[in-house]
Amino acid sequence: MKDFLKRLLPRKTHFMGIDVGTYEIKVAEVKVIDGMPEVVALRRRPSPQGVWTKEFDEEELVEALKEIAGSGLREAITCIGGENVVGRIVRLPPMEEKELEQAVRFEVERFVPTPVDQLIVRSVWLEEGEDGAEETPRRKTSSPRAGEEGAKGLLILAVPAAVIYQYHSIFSRAGLLVTAVDLQAFALWRLFGRGAPGTVAIADIGAQTSHLVVVREGVIRFLRLLPVGGNAVSNFLADTYGVEFAEAERMKLEAAASGENENPGFPGVLREADLFHGGIMEITRELKRSLEFYYTQEKDRVERVILSGGAVKLKELPEHLQEALEIPVEVGLPAIGLPDDIQYDPAYAVAIGLALREVV
């Protein structure tokens, strides 16, 4: 019946992804033009202070969303901050729906301290998937590992129900209908990992946290939220030069933009190399640990790393990571059309991946 209705109803061709980050709200609009998706608009504005913490002002976010939505589109796809989502990939054999529900509940009770009846729980087959699992990122892959005959990867996600209700309420008050609450990892996979050959790690470096997604032959194999982001660099500069965080953030952004070895506008003489003695090393250590853990679990080495996120603007970051990780590292460029008047910024990766959810 669902497929029948889809064929009957007009097909949508215009989609909007909204990524509400720690410091910025990013919006991406994607249109299907002549059968191919194309980014038609990218917008950003500052997030309300302390967004998604217990102290933030919801009405400020409502007004910000009203302002940035702007284009007349009222349907939006958004995502939940990684710190609000608990996820785990397990390997299970195919089973009946009732058995699967019991297995998922058992796993959630093992790794989430919150009572299950206060959570919204979803499970997603990561490989060939079950019938009806329309949002499943899936692709045929190699045979299961030894000792797991017939087993497939299942991603289990658990989110407090109160968080989901809060998202829907805020967007609704802004005049927006949330058609899907997605996961950052799926948005990144959609943009960079879906057709990637071999084993690829996608690292989206945010302000406070970073998302790591490892994809093998187009299938998500490993997810991790890293407790470090671009703020590590700002904190390091603030401690080193004895300035406030806001000033340290300005120093970081100016160093990223200048590309010069020295900038006399900074206290003392700030060299780009200073950025890597503290904060960048912290990001590197977390990435390295996670990739080593993945290898321990899967006995599979990551062949290259694709970077996205606002912190990628630190120009020496890819080179530094490549040297430390000893594998190729590149800034991701999405394989999607962009008009000449729109310049891609890695900070928009998640927003574009969200907008693509109903397209690919």
The values of phi and psi at residue 276, to 5°, are -100, -5
Is the pLDDT confidence value at 142 over 80? no
- At 1 the three-state DSSP class reads coil
Q: What is the mean pLDDT of residues 234-253?
A: 85
> Quick one: which of 273, 282, 280 has its CA closest to 255?
273
Q: What is the pLDDT of residue 135?
A: 41
State residue 3's pLDDT score: 54
Q: What's the pLDDT band for 202 if we cut at 50, 70, 90?
A: very high
3-state secondary structure at position 110: helix
Task: Give one DSSP letter per residue of 119-170, joined into a string.
Answer: EEEEEEESSS--TT-TT------PPPPTT-TT-EEEEEEEEEHHHHHHHHHH
**Per-residue pLDDT tens digits for 69-102:** 876 889 999 998 767 888 899 999 988 999 999 9
Domains of the chain, first to last: 12-129+151-231+278-356 (3.30.420.380)
Is a pLDDT exceeding 70 seen at residue 37? Answer: yes
- Position 279 scores a pLDDT of 78
pTM of the model: 0.86
CA distance 267 to 246: 14
Mean pLDDT within 292-299: 95
**What letter does residue 337 receive in the DSSP assignment?**
B
Q: Which of 11-15, 152-156, 267-271, 300-304 has the highest mean pLDDT?
A: 300-304
What does the pLDDT average to over 260-281?
A: 56
Specify the residue for token string 């000893």.
Answer: 326
Confidence of residue 138 (pLDDT cuts 50, 70, 90): very low
pLDDT digits (tens, 9 = 90+) for 306-360: 999 988 888 778 888 999 999 999 999 998 988 888 889 999 999 999 999 988 6
Q: What is the DSSP string of 18-73?
A: EEE-SSEEEEEEEEEETTEEEEEEEEEEEPPTTTTSTTS-HHHHHHHHHHHH-SS-
pLDDT value of position 276? 55
Integer Cα distance of 139 and 241 in angstroms: 50
Of 172-186, 226-240, 266-280, 340-354, where does mean pLDDT reach its minimum?
266-280
* CA pseudo-torsion sign 178, 181, 182, 187: positive
